[in-house]
Amino acid sequence: MSKKQTKKSKYPSRYSPEKFVHAAQYITEVICEKKAQIDKKELPIKFWELKEWRKFYKYQITLANKLLKKYGEHSIIAALKDKRMWRTYSLRNPFLENVIKEYKVKEDIAREIVKKIEYDFSEKETYESNNKKKSIISKLEDLE
Protein backbone atom coordinates (compact mmCIF):
# COMPACT_ATOMS: atom_id res chain seq x y z
CA MET A 1 0.00 0.00 0.00
CA SER A 2 1.12 3.48 -0.71
CA LYS A 3 -0.23 6.91 0.02
CA LYS A 4 0.47 8.09 -3.53
CA GLN A 5 -0.74 6.55 -6.73
CA THR A 6 2.11 4.81 -8.58
CA LYS A 7 2.40 2.49 -11.57
CA LYS A 8 2.14 -0.56 -9.32
CA SER A 9 -0.25 0.81 -6.74
CA LYS A 10 -2.85 2.42 -8.94
CA TYR A 11 -6.12 1.21 -7.44
CA PRO A 12 -7.74 3.04 -4.53
CA SER A 13 -8.19 0.76 -1.56
CA ARG A 14 -11.75 0.35 -0.41
CA TYR A 15 -10.76 -0.64 3.10
CA SER A 16 -7.74 1.50 3.79
CA PRO A 17 -8.62 5.18 3.58
CA GLU A 18 -6.68 7.38 1.16
CA LYS A 19 -4.25 4.61 0.17
CA PHE A 20 -3.58 2.85 -3.09
CA VAL A 21 -3.05 -0.88 -3.61
CA HIS A 22 -1.72 -3.04 -6.41
CA ALA A 23 -3.95 -5.15 -8.64
CA ALA A 24 -3.84 -8.39 -6.59
CA GLN A 25 -4.87 -6.56 -3.42
CA TYR A 26 -7.67 -4.73 -5.22
CA ILE A 27 -9.02 -7.96 -6.74
CA THR A 28 -8.86 -9.67 -3.35
CA GLU A 29 -10.72 -6.79 -1.70
CA VAL A 30 -13.49 -7.15 -4.29
CA ILE A 31 -13.71 -10.92 -3.69
CA CYS A 32 -13.78 -10.48 0.10
CA GLU A 33 -16.47 -7.84 -0.30
CA LYS A 34 -18.59 -10.29 -2.30
CA LYS A 35 -18.07 -13.04 0.29
CA ALA A 36 -19.04 -10.70 3.11
CA GLN A 37 -22.16 -9.71 1.17
CA ILE A 38 -23.16 -13.36 0.76
CA ASP A 39 -22.41 -14.10 4.44
CA LYS A 40 -24.35 -10.93 5.37
CA LYS A 41 -21.40 -9.42 7.21
CA GLU A 42 -19.75 -6.02 7.05
CA LEU A 43 -16.08 -5.60 6.28
CA PRO A 44 -14.35 -3.15 8.62
CA ILE A 45 -11.36 -1.03 7.68
CA LYS A 46 -8.22 -3.22 7.43
CA PHE A 47 -10.35 -6.35 7.65
CA TRP A 48 -7.40 -8.54 6.57
CA GLU A 49 -5.85 -8.07 9.99
CA LEU A 50 -8.81 -9.78 11.69
CA LYS A 51 -8.41 -13.46 12.52
CA GLU A 52 -11.69 -14.28 10.77
CA TRP A 53 -10.53 -12.88 7.41
CA ARG A 54 -6.72 -13.30 7.53
CA LYS A 55 -6.49 -16.84 6.13
CA PHE A 56 -9.10 -16.27 3.43
CA TYR A 57 -7.44 -13.00 2.34
CA LYS A 58 -3.97 -14.57 2.08
CA TYR A 59 -5.29 -17.49 0.06
CA GLN A 60 -7.23 -15.25 -2.33
CA ILE A 61 -4.28 -12.92 -2.85
CA THR A 62 -2.16 -15.93 -3.82
CA LEU A 63 -4.79 -16.96 -6.36
CA ALA A 64 -5.06 -13.38 -7.61
CA ASN A 65 -1.32 -13.25 -8.28
CA LYS A 66 -1.49 -16.50 -10.25
CA LEU A 67 -4.37 -15.20 -12.35
CA LEU A 68 -2.59 -11.88 -12.91
CA LYS A 69 0.41 -13.68 -14.40
CA LYS A 70 -1.88 -15.55 -16.80
CA TYR A 71 -4.45 -12.97 -17.86
CA GLY A 72 -3.60 -9.46 -16.68
CA GLU A 73 -5.42 -7.13 -14.33
CA HIS A 74 -7.93 -5.52 -16.69
CA SER A 75 -9.42 -8.86 -17.77
CA ILE A 76 -9.83 -10.11 -14.19
CA ILE A 77 -11.39 -6.90 -12.89
CA ALA A 78 -13.77 -6.75 -15.85
CA ALA A 79 -14.77 -10.38 -15.26
CA LEU A 80 -15.46 -9.73 -11.57
CA LYS A 81 -17.72 -6.82 -12.51
CA ASP A 82 -19.62 -8.99 -15.00
CA LYS A 83 -23.28 -9.70 -14.14
CA ARG A 84 -22.66 -13.45 -14.36
CA MET A 85 -20.15 -13.24 -11.51
CA TRP A 86 -22.33 -11.53 -8.91
CA ARG A 87 -22.21 -14.56 -6.57
CA THR A 88 -18.54 -15.38 -7.07
CA TYR A 89 -16.73 -15.23 -3.77
CA SER A 90 -13.57 -17.17 -4.62
CA LEU A 91 -10.97 -16.87 -7.35
CA ARG A 92 -10.93 -20.68 -7.64
CA ASN A 93 -14.32 -20.68 -9.32
CA PRO A 94 -13.79 -22.51 -12.66
CA PHE A 95 -16.54 -20.50 -14.35
CA LEU A 96 -14.72 -17.29 -13.38
CA GLU A 97 -11.67 -18.38 -15.35
CA ASN A 98 -13.82 -18.94 -18.44
CA VAL A 99 -15.24 -15.42 -18.15
CA ILE A 100 -11.73 -14.02 -17.63
CA LYS A 101 -10.64 -15.77 -20.83
CA GLU A 102 -13.53 -14.14 -22.70
CA TYR A 103 -12.47 -10.70 -21.51
CA LYS A 104 -8.82 -11.46 -22.32
CA VAL A 105 -9.78 -12.32 -25.92
CA LYS A 106 -11.80 -9.10 -26.18
CA GLU A 107 -8.87 -7.11 -24.80
CA ASP A 108 -6.45 -8.73 -27.27
CA ILE A 109 -8.76 -8.03 -30.21
CA ALA A 110 -9.11 -4.39 -29.15
CA ARG A 111 -5.34 -4.10 -28.83
CA GLU A 112 -4.86 -5.50 -32.35
CA ILE A 113 -7.41 -3.08 -33.79
CA VAL A 114 -5.63 -0.14 -32.16
CA LYS A 115 -2.30 -1.31 -33.63
CA LYS A 116 -3.77 -1.47 -37.14
CA ILE A 117 -5.27 2.00 -37.06
CA GLU A 118 -2.82 4.68 -38.12
CA TYR A 119 -3.48 8.34 -37.63
CA ASP A 120 -2.03 11.10 -39.76
CA PHE A 121 -2.01 14.33 -37.81
CA SER A 122 0.27 16.22 -40.19
CA GLU A 123 -2.56 17.73 -42.24
CA LYS A 124 -5.30 19.64 -40.57
CA GLU A 125 -8.67 19.05 -42.19
CA THR A 126 -10.80 22.08 -42.89
CA TYR A 127 -14.54 21.90 -43.19
CA GLU A 128 -16.66 24.21 -45.24
CA SER A 129 -19.37 25.97 -43.36
CA ASN A 130 -22.93 25.25 -44.35
CA ASN A 131 -23.98 28.63 -43.03
CA LYS A 132 -24.11 30.82 -46.14
CA LYS A 133 -25.90 33.74 -44.52
CA LYS A 134 -24.00 36.95 -44.07
CA SER A 135 -24.22 38.93 -40.91
CA ILE A 136 -24.83 42.65 -40.82
CA ILE A 137 -21.16 43.28 -40.06
CA SER A 138 -20.08 41.15 -43.06
CA LYS A 139 -22.40 43.07 -45.33
CA LEU A 140 -20.99 46.36 -44.08
CA GLU A 141 -17.43 45.12 -44.63
CA ASP A 142 -18.34 44.12 -48.20
CA LEU A 143 -19.65 47.64 -48.86
CA GLU A 144 -16.28 49.19 -48.02
What mean pLDDT is predicted for residues 107-131? 80
pLDDT at 16: 87
What mean pLDDT is predicted for residues 102-112? 93
Q: Is 75 exposed, middle or buried (0-12, 13-18, 19+ CB in 10 A)?
A: buried
Phi, psi of 127 (to 5 degrees): -115, 135
Q: How far apart are the first and last CA of the chain?
A: 71
User: Which residue would you say has higher pLDDT here, 56 or 136?
Assistant: 56
pLDDT at 130: 72
- Decide if 89 contacts 110 (C-beta within 8 A): no
- Closest to 16 in 3D by CA, of 59, 48, 46: 46
Identity at 125, one-letter amino acid code: E
Q: DSSP 3-state assignment of 42?
A: coil
How does pLDDT run across 9-51, given as a tens digit for each residue? 889 998 888 899 999 999 999 999 999 999 999 999 999 999 9
pLDDT at 68: 94
Taking the complete model, does pTM exceed 0.85, yes or no? no
DSSP classification of residue 122: S
Identity at 139, one-letter amino acid code: K
